[in-house]
Structure 1
Amino acid sequence: MDTRSATNTIAFAFQSMRIEHTFMKKAHLCFDGLRETRRQILNIGLGGYEAKCVTLFADTQSGKTTILKAYLEKNVVDRCYDVGLFSREVPRTLVAALQRVVVRVSVSGTSTLMSLLEDILRAYGDPRPETGNMGSKKHRIFRYMQEFRTELLIFDEMNHLRIGARGLYQSAEATRVHNVLKDFLLGGCPIVFVGTTEAQAKVLSDFQIRARCVKSLFLGPLVYGNTEHRRAFTEYCGMLGINLMRSGLFSERSNFLEDDIVPRLFEAAGGYFGHASNIVELAAHYAKDEGAKRVERCHLSAAADDYSVLNKLATRNPFEEELELADA
């Protein structure tokens, strides 16, 4: 396998990897609960029901995107198969892309209200999202929600919203954005707000939205002294090693649970699942270059040296001291 092929294979394997951990399970259970309530309302046709929202705000590389992708690919697709929306012969990836039961909206950079409405229309597959005035776009969105019996709206990258900027126009725009988001909740459709920690102040600055928020989901940074956090990270590291072999990248299992690799990798990753995956992915490249049968401690150390310090996750390589002792 040439260098370019190996690089593409490793990158694809990590992009496709879905490792379930405690905080992913909690998030998915929360999403399921919101959808179950929404289905009950849709089934009995009860009007005037106000939905709730939850938030998933965490730093970059905490694993937010993976949680959303895993939910759409597993929970949502399973539901589509079970109720007959799609034949089980249709590939899961295609069902996830075509279904509108759970709609994930990627909020555009520096989004205004009009561009936000267009983002939602694009998520529904509207052929001409730029067409129409504000009222027309809102009407089409609500029509799609009823037509597809949408159970959950997920607004991703909420940190892109232009809320919190100074100035009379910006303040008025923020109010309009909040009002539209409240309209969805008042219309009975639950929402998951996702974004970096910067998004929290933007979304929850509105009291009425904040009052309807039933849960703020946690995703890091993890604290190694916390038993639940440490257990979740340890299990995650173990599954990373197993998946490197299952994906066919290596012939032997990479054992990241031996010695004190877990606490060192935890420090190198700054307590984030996503950064841990990135370090292991980089280590996999180094191992492949050497023709190794699995990812070893030395590869993790080299990856941490290049990744952790560069991304200011650590001031030193957490593996260096241990490697020096081993060499001695």
Structure 2
Amino acid sequence: MTLSERLYIANNVYVLYPRFKEILAAIDDCHHFSNLKDEPECLFLKGETGAGKTTILKSYARNYPRYQTPDGTIVPVLEVTIPSPATVKSVVTKLLWQLGDPAYDKGTISNQTIRLIGLMKDCGVSLVFLDEFQHFIDRDSAKVLKTVSDWLKDLILDTKVPVVLIGLPEAETVFQFNPQLSRRFANRHNLSPFSWEDSGREFRTFLHAVESQLPLIEESALAYEEMALRFYYASDGIVAYVMKLIRYGTHLALKYGQKKLDLNVLANAFEKYVKADKPYKKNPFIDSDFLNEVKDASLYAPSMTMVGATSQKIKLKKKTTRASDILHK
């Protein structure tokens, strides 16, 4: 396998862990059972930046690619990122553009909306993803943009197509100011960062699954408790940071002919891809005392103990069993 092929594998690692599966199943229910109801079943997915919301969107939509027929283009799943600031004009224009309307920005809002409803029917749209739902809140005034939220409610009623809204947690404020829209998005899911509950079992299972896909010769033991804790501290349990560390670390390992991810390459990855966002953190792949900065060490590692006074170092337990033995008993 060439270096380029290995780098491609590293950059396209995808782990379908339980929380992802649960949300994907909920989206699938909205998609395929809405036609059995008077109103389409819609869903709201919230989560912090980097939690994996857009990854879920792309993962689901990948199963429903657009395709050509003698009568035109079929778009089973329509994906759109809500522009900022969100206005009815900007949103309807973006939707028309994604559907291939050559005159996507022409006409009044009413005319554009009528064209959109017709195009969605002609293109066989059966599910709509709207990402960055927090753009329905004006960034400067913090006011909910009620006109565009009312327009969305009407679009759902007119097309009877289920919509999945994706956004930051603060986007939920929109529903407080629009009860009718809120009722249609009562199905809500929160994609929160990993926690360290049960000694980080879920997080370590995720690391183990990621490592199993890496194009490296030797085991890097990412799921071992000490290494997993370094990853957890560096990332705060946020998937995007974990994957940045692993992908760039793998890139360096392959570049320099190393057989596995070691603390040196991971330290470099932290400095390049995480440190700028978390300048207050020590590099946990260099500094073994990083846990001393944590006010409540039990939050990170319930199985680890403080030795003596609080100013003393926190000693990490060494594990000799394999990660797979720990995680898959």
**Same fold, TM exceeding 0.5?**
yes
Letter in 2 for 1:112: T
- Aligned equivalents of 2:246, 2:252: Cα separation in 1: 10
Instruction: Please give the alpha-carbon distance, in whole angstroms, between the structure 1 residues aligned to 2:186 and 2:54.
Output: 21
Partners in 1 of 2:258 and 2:149 — Cα distance?
A: 54
Q: Which position in structure 1 is the counterpart of 2:43?
A: 54
Q: In the alignment, which residue of structure 2 is the partner of 1:272?
A: 238
Q: Is 1:117 the equivalent of 2:81?
A: no
Question: Gaps (5+ residues) in structure 1?
Answer: 42-48, 88-97
Equivalent pair of 2:132/2:167 in contact (CA under 8 Å): yes
Correspondence for 1:191 among 163, 166, 169? 163
Change (3 A) 1:204 1:277: farther
1:154 is aligned to 129
Counterpart of 1:235 in structure 2 is: 205
> Residues of 2 paired with 1:146 and 1:192: CA distance?
18
Q: For the structure 1 residues 15 and 40, does the alpha-carbon distance in structure 2 shift closer, same or farther, using more than 3 Å as the test?
A: farther
Is the CA contact 2:43–2:163 (under 8 Å) kept in the aligned structure 1?
Answer: yes
Task: Between the two structures, name the one with larger relative contact order (CA 8 Å, sep ≥ 6).
Answer: 1
1:45 alignment counterpart: none
Separation in 2 of the partners of 1:236 and 1:251?
A: 20
The within-5 A match list for 1:114-193 is 114-161=89-136, 163=138, 166=141, 174-187=145-158, 188-193=160-165
Q: How does 1:1-328 map to 2 (within 5 A)?
A: 10=7, 12-40=8-36, 49-74=38-63, 76=64, 99-161=74-136, 163=138, 166=141, 174-187=145-158, 188-202=160-174, 204-225=176-197, 230-245=200-215, 250-312=216-278, 315-322=281-288
Q: Please list the CA deviations of residues 198-226 of structure 1 after superposition, one character each: whole Å capped at 9, or x if unmatched.
A: 43324553221112223222212222126
Q: Based on CA coordinates, which of the two structures has the bigger radius of gyration?
A: 2
Equivalent pair of 2:250/2:261 in contact (CA under 8 Å): yes
What count of residue pairs does the alignment treat as equivalent? 288
* CA displacement, residues 29-49 of structure 1 (integer Å, 9 cap, x when unaligned): 0111111222435xxxxxxx2
TM-score, normalised via structure 1 length = 0.76
Q: Deviations over 1:130-185 (max 9, x none)?
A: 01111111111111222233221110122333547549xx77xx222011110133
TM-score by structure 2 length? Answer: 0.76
Once the two structures are overlaid, the 10-residue window that deviates more, 287-296 or 136-145, is 287-296
Contact kept in structure 2, 1:56 and 1:193, CA below 8 Å: yes
Q: Could you say which structure has the higher helix fraction?
A: 1
Q: Using the alignment, how far apart are the partners of 1:17 and 1:120 within structure 2? A: 30
CA deviation vs aligned residue, 1:61-87 (integer Å, no higher than 9, x gap):
11112111111123x35xx9xxxx789
Query: Relative to structure 1, is the Cα distance of residues 52 and 163 closer, same or farther in structure 2, using a 3 angstrom cutoff?
Result: farther
Q: Any conservation in 2 of the 1:242–1:254 contact (CA below 8 Å)?
A: no
Q: Distance in 1 between matches of 2:231 and 2:280?
A: 11
